[in-house]
Amino acid sequence: MCELLGMSANVPTDICFSFSGFLHRGGGTGPHRDGWGIAFYEQGGYREFRDPHPSVDSPIARLICDYPIKSNVVISHIRQANVGGVRLANTHPFTREMWGRLWCYAHNGQLDGWQELALDVYTPVGSTDSEHAFCWLLGELRRAFPTPPASFGPVAALLHTLCERLRGLGVFNLLLSDGESLYSYCSTKLAHITRRAPFGEAELSDAEMTVNFSEHTTANDVVSVIATAPLTHNEVWTTMLPGELLVWREGSIKARYAP
């Protein structure tokens, strides 16, 4: 299975610490050697790095650790290939435009019968079940809402229904964002943590690294991290329920949809 990493923050924040542990799972402490990617939303723009090689050995991944890109929303993925060959076209995250925004998506899991999901507006570039499901999801959202709704509520409610349908086809853990909201859906395994004042120290589980967040934050900062499995061993992470969808904005949960 692949692994997911996401971040939502109320101020532009770098993800260097979390990503430094996460990349080791891509061929180091974990078996996910079939590519990795990371996407940043920053100041109304979108920046993405993808690499079909193991993240633990990737010079690009090391660049991300050393280059503190400040972002409010981040989505990252490390891949263990099940469907589709190991190549750049099959490397997450995937991106499409809808309503004048770039939507970023990453999926952990494997689906049965995914070829039967009828596509309309969006077409996959690669050959994975993940990208096909993404094209189907966005197509269904766009068909229901030809123009963007005034709030994220109707989109989130329909997204939860669509994710529940995909969960019926197998394992479907998801991170999805339009740059404003970050949606996390749990099929089998996702956990999250929200850090706010008073900030303390955190120690990575997959690398020898400790950070004192009080030295890098202000009293008003709120930063939430979502991951397939907790990235630190000295903090309390919350495990999502199977079938649960959370909507994150500015580091906080704004809506919760139960299975």
- Positions marked catalytic: 2
Task: Give the number of other Cβ atoms within 10 Å of residue 85's Cβ.
Answer: 12
Q: Are 132 and 113 in contact (CB under 8 A)?
A: no
What b/e sequence results for 122-147 when a residue is b if at least 16 CB atoms lie within 10 Å of its CB, and e otherwise? bebebebbbbbbbbbbbbbbbeeeee
Write the secondary structure of 70-98 as one string of H (helix), E (strand) and C (coil): CEEEEEEEECCCCCCCCCHHHCCCEEEEE
Q: Are 156 and 120 in contact (CB under 8 A)?
A: no
